[in-house]
Amino acid sequence: MGVNQWDAIVVGTGMSGGWAMRVLTEAGLKTLALDRGRMVEHGDYPTEHKQPWNMPWRDGRVHPDDRKDYPIQSRTYAFSEYARHWFIKDTDAPYAQDQPFDWIQPDVVGGKALIWGRQSYRWSPMDFEANQRDGHGVDWPIRYEDLEPWYDLVEQTIGVSGARDGIPQLPDGVFQKPMDMNAAEKAARDRIEATFPGRRVIIGRAAVLTEPLDGRAPCHYCGPCMRGCSTGSYYSTQSSALPAARATGNLTLLARKLVHSVTYAEGRATGVRVIDMETGAFEEHTARLVFLCASAPGTVRIMLNSKSPEFPGGIANSSSVLGHYLLNHHARVGAGGEMEGMEDRYWRGNRPNGIYVPRFRNLGGDRRPDYVRGFGMQGGASRSGWARGGSMRGTGAAFKAALRVPGGWRIGLQAYGEVLPYHENYMTLDDELTDKWGMPAVRFHVGRFDNELAMRKDMAATAAEMLEASGARNVTTYNNAEIAPGNTNHEMGGARMGRDPRTSVLNGWNQCHDVPNLFVTDGACMTSSACQNPSLTYMALTARAANYAIDQLKTGTL
């Protein structure tokens, strides 16, 4: 093979790209992985375990200058002085917005797998059937059974802790032992489940180890995972996929390479055009297989930018749906309250996980007249600590002594709702705006519609009703509908899977209908959004598609 010739190219090294490079290299393919982010080696986590008093601005405050450089990134909860170095400088990579859309983007090898919240839930049979049943969006070309063995594989490989709860709409997986609930969470669970048959409160399922796995240690409960974990206790590209892919000897990973477009000739993708971000020079790489895993909008951006006489509107876009049916989840709606008593109970260690309420609406006998689909809830309880002193009356030794003892318990539930597939939610390339390296920038056109707005009212009311049943007092609700879509971090769609090449970009193997050796396995492929955190599903889809591509290569079909 020539210098720039490969068996496979993987664009993006985050949650889905990590899986693509692992499976392809393990099958013996000489694989090139490209990422525009800088290289981060496992252990290269400068703020890990840093004490607040050793931080320049004490405990991770975001400096006003950083808000200027990172006006969008600094809006995610994960952005602070402790994690700023994982995010892209918005001023280097601007994008246009017809309506506000927060696009949270990493700028490192490993992508958002380094920063993610690690909540990991399977989809259920209902989620793959939803479009067909209620007619919103096109039918998924696959069903739960198609993905089930790949969920098994992914969970076993990345390590997911959780309880086997036996909930049909949230299938159990291959779990490591679950983390504990605290006293208030257990009390709330018992009362909520007794009051509302059909609603369950479970411990979160998290890609955080509670048992050793492949040289990775169980969680040591320091707390803030998004700073990086040198014991590899949560799943990231660095902790798991990268060492596995490297061990094969088949991986070449190049950082600071911006993939500009996919090259195309005679019905096939021939490779990628890349901008070297240090020199600004263009490079070409060729391969028999190309996997796009640059995050949903990132992948669609590359595809729209891949123009040829056959595909003037972007590669594999004979259907003209490329860029359309963008999906996300809507959140920032829920309730909080105070739990009385249990002041003799406390915890030890910082649990990087919460509690979860699986979807219960619009299934079984629980039907809503005002919206379709449903939502899940993430939450947790804790006792207030010293911070309550900031708004407390009192001074002197008595004040200090009061804060030496924790305050009462507080509990909160935040809902995450499904967003329907709408043709009107789309992205294009902007006519003028480019990033710092000259690649056309994205323009988002994403709104919220009646189904989501009606669901939000119910989300707030339901969270409050459940907290009241849990015994909480002074329950207050919030419904921050003004927070831009995107801020829930679960952007998907834009190159959806489907059965019909006229209405979808990808087939049931994440393979472009129009260009068989081009695969899209990140969130861009999603045909509907369900309400669960999506990354586990991206990983399972990627593993499945990569294995299919390898088989097709072997049989000579590709």
Partner 1 sequence: MTEIDRRTFLQRLAVSFGVVLTPGTTAAILTGCRPDPGIGRQFFTAAEYLLVGDLVERIIPATDTPGAREAGVPEYVDMLLTHFSDDQVRGEVREQLLALQGWLREHQADRIEHLDPELAETLIAALDQEAFPTAEDGPLPLDGLPGGETPLFRRLKPWTVAGYYTSEVGALQELHQSPMGVYQGDIPFAEVGKTWA
Ligand X SMILES: Cc1cc2nc3c(=O)[nH]c(=O)nc-3n(C[C@H](O)[C@H](O)[C@H](O)COP(=O)(O)OP(=O)(O)OC[C@H]3O[C@@H](n4cnc5c(N)ncnc54)[C@H](O)[C@@H]3O)c2cc1C
Among 115, 192, 262, 515, binds ligand X (CB under 6 A): 115
Report d(CA 434, CA 413) in Å as an integer.
Answer: 40
Q: Is the dihedral of CA 551, 30, 302, 123 positive or negative?
A: positive
User: Which of helix, strand or coil describes residue 492?
Assistant: strand
Q: How many residues bind partner 1 (CB under 8 A)?
A: 67
Which range binds partner 1 by CB under 8 A, 216-224, 283-291, 451-459, 479-487?
Answer: 216-224
Nearer to ligand X, 182 or 529 (CB): 529
Question: Per-residue contact track with partner 1, 141 to 180, x per CB under 8 A?
Answer: --------------------------------------xx
| Sequence-separated (6 or more) residues with CB below 8 Å from residue 14 | 106, 110, 111, 112, 113, 237, 293, 295, 522
Q: What is the DSSP string of 274-324?
A: EEETTT--EEEEEEEEEEE-S-HHHHHHHHHT---SS-TTSTT-TTS-TT-
385's contact among ligand X, partner 1, none, with CB below 5 to 8 A by partner kind, is: partner 1
Q: How far is the CB of 77 from ligand X (least distance, A)?
A: 6
| Window of 154-162, 409-417, 460-468, 528-536 that interacts with ligand X by CB under 6 A | 528-536
DSSP symbol at 516: T
Per-residue mark of binding to ligand X, 485-524 (x: CB under 6 A): ----xx-------------------------------xx-
Residues 7, 9, 16, 458: which binds ligand X (CB under 6 A)? 16
Judged by CB under 6 A, the chain residues 248 through 277 that form the site for ligand X are: 258-259
The H or E element containing residue 336 is: strand 330-339
Nearer to partner 1, 34 or 208 (CB): 208
User: If phi over 0 gives left and psi between -120 and 50 gives alpha, with beta otherwise, what is residue 349?
Assistant: left
**Contact at 8 Å (CB) between 519 and 292?**
yes
Tell me which residue of 380, 381, 373 sits closest to 330, measured CA to CA.
Answer: 373
**Site mask for partner 1 (CB under 8 A), range 232-271, x = bound:** x---------------------------------------
Residues in CB range of 3: below 8 A, 6 or more apart: none
Would you count residue 393 as binding partner 1 (CB under 8 A)? Answer: yes
Please state, as a whole number, how many other Cβ atoms lie within 10 Å of the Cβ of residue 288: 19
In the list partner 1, ligand X, none, the entry touching 14 (Cβ below 5 to 8 angstroms by class) is ligand X
28 to 87, contacts with ligand X by CB under 6 A? 34-37, 76, 78
Length of the chain: 558
Which residues contribute to the site for ligand X (CB under 6 A)? 11-17, 34-37, 76, 78, 104, 106, 111-113, 115-119, 258-259, 293-295, 298, 302, 489-490, 522-523, 533-535, 538
